[in-house]
């Protein structure tokens, strides 16, 4: 089963992953880092671009992906860079959904 | 002279405002706060929206403003919220330009 077929609707998300599950999934991603912000585990990655317009265009592509799955990251757009953070607010932690969308972000 | 007519091209920006100048200009803005991040003074404000799409649309409107003036803020977009930070990297501080664009951000 492909990763994207395993996306869980928000209403059915109930439990955050534990640290072993997180470590296993993180190893499958490309250069995403695990951070903790306000006590919540999150996936973070910086994407670099040649100017502001390209960065903002990427933010919009991630935004379209987020709307498609009704799961939304934090996107910090500045000149030549977008920082993305994925987590699941409902469970105040990480769900497989976040890894699925981090992987999809890389493929945009 | 209207505030927007006093915008200085980046090539001519040479000096950061001192704390008295900042306090004077900050008093003229609507609910912007002064923060220091990585040792650099910045203007920050949170804008709230009803969903992700409206937040992203606002990010794009600020992006258009930024491109128009060739001066770019940091825009942190999440569900129902955009956090904006204006500062001038060249002088590692605040310039009147930042207050002008903070004010213009409010009028979008």
A76 close to B76: Cβ distance less than 8 angstroms: yes
B67 vs A: CB within 8 A: yes
In the DSSP assignment, the letter for residue A88 is: B
Please report the pLDDT score of residue A6 as a whole number.
87
Q: What ipTM was predicted for this assembly?
A: 0.93
- Per the listing, tokens 């607010």 go with A89
For a pLDDT cut of 90, what percent of chain A falls above it?
89
Contacts of B63 in chain A (CB under 8 A): 52-53, 56, 77
Q: Give, for A33, the enclosing helix (H) or strand (E).
A: strand A33-37
Phi, psi (deg, nearest 5) at residue B88: -120, 105
Q: What is the pLDDT of residues A13-71, one digit of tens each?
A: 989 999 999 999 999 999 999 999 999 999 999 999 999 999 999 999 999 999 999 99
Phi, psi (deg, nearest 5) at residue A75: -120, 115
Q: How confident is the model at residue A3 (pLDDT cuts 50, 70, 90)?
A: low
Dump the DSSP string for B43-97.
Answer: EEEEEE-SSHHHHHHHHHHHHHHHHHHT---EEEEETTEEEEEE-BGGGTB--HH
Please report the pLDDT score of residue B76 as a whole number.
98
Contacts of B59 in chain A (CB under 8 A): 56, 59, 75, 77
A44 close to A83: Cβ distance less than 8 angstroms: yes
pTM of the model: 0.94
Residue of B nearest to A78 (CA): B74
State chain B's mean pLDDT as an integer: 94
Please report the pLDDT score of residue A79 as a whole number.
98
> Which residues in chain B land under pLDDT 70?
1-5
Please report the pLDDT score of residue B11 as a whole number.
84
């Amino acid at each position: 089963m492909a990763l994207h077929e395993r996306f869980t609707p928000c209403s059915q998300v109930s439990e955050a992953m534990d640290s072993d599950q997180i470590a296993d999934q993180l190893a499958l991603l490309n250069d995403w880092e695990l951070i903790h912000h306000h006590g919540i585990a999150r996936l973070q990655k910086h994407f670099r671009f040649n100017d502001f317009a390209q960065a903002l265009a990427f933010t919009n592509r991630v935004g379209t992906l987020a709307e498609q799955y009704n799961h939304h990251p934090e996107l910090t757009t500045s000149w030549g860079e977008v920082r993305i953070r994925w987590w699941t607010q409902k469970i105040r932690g990480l769900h497989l959904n976040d890894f699925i969308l981090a992987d999809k972000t890389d493929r945009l």
